[in-house]
Structure 1
């Protein structure tokens, strides 16, 4: 049932109606994606929390389309975080035990890595690629330009956008 079809029903009643009508469907959808019912239930709740806080929830015409889009983004973020965590733990396993960070430090590093990943994911793909080639691989702008098949000027502009984006993400 679309919220628009509810006529004079309040936003709270509309939310409740959508929740009751689509919650089990969404949990099952996420369970198939994630392979874990607990994670599916958590992401379904996060999805409905987004719907609850959406400004135009009462005007929603296709609840399942909205729920699918939001839950897919949350699932992608979940998988990205798992991949970052796995990579970080693999790197830690290569370190001598004496230099291994505390569990609190590990949690803080994982949180920071997730935040950096989210900021970089908001960059256009080519800009992100140039930025990572520069910052992680240590390539010069000329080397990046050759690798990407663009001019050095294009790389300079992309790097400027990337640095500006990162600055605004940190200092807002």
Structure 2
């Protein structure tokens, strides 16, 4: 909960930077509706972080830092959605799921992508080589130029991360 002083600071920050941030998003996206959504998301993220007062001394930089992260997430989601929709177009019409099932699958795909993206690069690669490509730990070790024992550690780390991520999502 914000104190009255923090609330007044936030109000001043919002009123002073909202239009500028929305114009910035609009230039990047070319869509006023998406720009408005991401602008709001930026300020919501700021509220949720319960930012320390010193960040308000350089609001442009701090808001831009949050906004860039949201923009990357937006583009990643768009790319993933496009790939998913392209894959659906390749299916036979009789095999196509209902719109509701498609939406659930896309949301699940986005969650898996977010979970994998938060893994360190070599851990993510090892996990995907094992789960998607079906490679053995020895084959993965050769590809990543690490020991087989390190691949086992990567896999244990990835599995633990998956469990923790799932638990954190269930709490929301």
TM-score (norm 1): 0.89
Shift of 1:45: 0.5
Q: How many residues align?
A: 165
Shift of 1:57: 4.7
Shift of 1:169: 1.1
- One of 127, 138, 149 as aligned partner of 1:153: 149
What is the distance in 2 between the residues matched to 1:57 and 1:31?
28
What is the distance in 2 between the residues matched to 1:162 and 1:28?
39
Deviation by residue 1:18-44 (Cα, 9 ceiling, x = unmatched): 111111211122122222221111100
Structure 1 residue ranges without an equivalent (≥5): 1-7
Are residue 10 (structure 1) and residue 28 (structure 2) matched?
no
1:141–1:155 CA contact under 8 A, matched in 2: yes
What is the distance in 2 between the residues matched to 1:95 and 1:56?
47
1:30–1:40 CA contact under 8 A, matched in 2: yes
Are residue 70 (structure 1) and residue 70 (structure 2) matched?
no
1:51–1:57 CA contact under 8 A, matched in 2: no
Shift of 1:110: 0.8
CA RMSD, aligned part only? 1.7
What is the distance in 2 between the residues matched to 1:144 and 1:86?
29
Alignment of structure 1 residues 8-157 onto 2, 5 Å: 10-60=5-55, 61-157=57-153
Could you tell me which residue of structure 2 aligns to residue 4 of structure 1? none
What is the distance in 2 between the residues matched to 1:38 and 1:56?
27
Say which SS state the counterpart of residue 116 (structure 2) adopts.
helix
Shift of 1:67: 0.8
Say which SS state the counterpart of residue 134 (structure 2) adopts.
coil
What is the distance in 1 between the residues matched to 2:51 and 2:25?
24
Shift of 1:9: 7.0
Q: More relative contact order in 1 or in 2 (CA 8 Å, sep 6+)?
A: 1
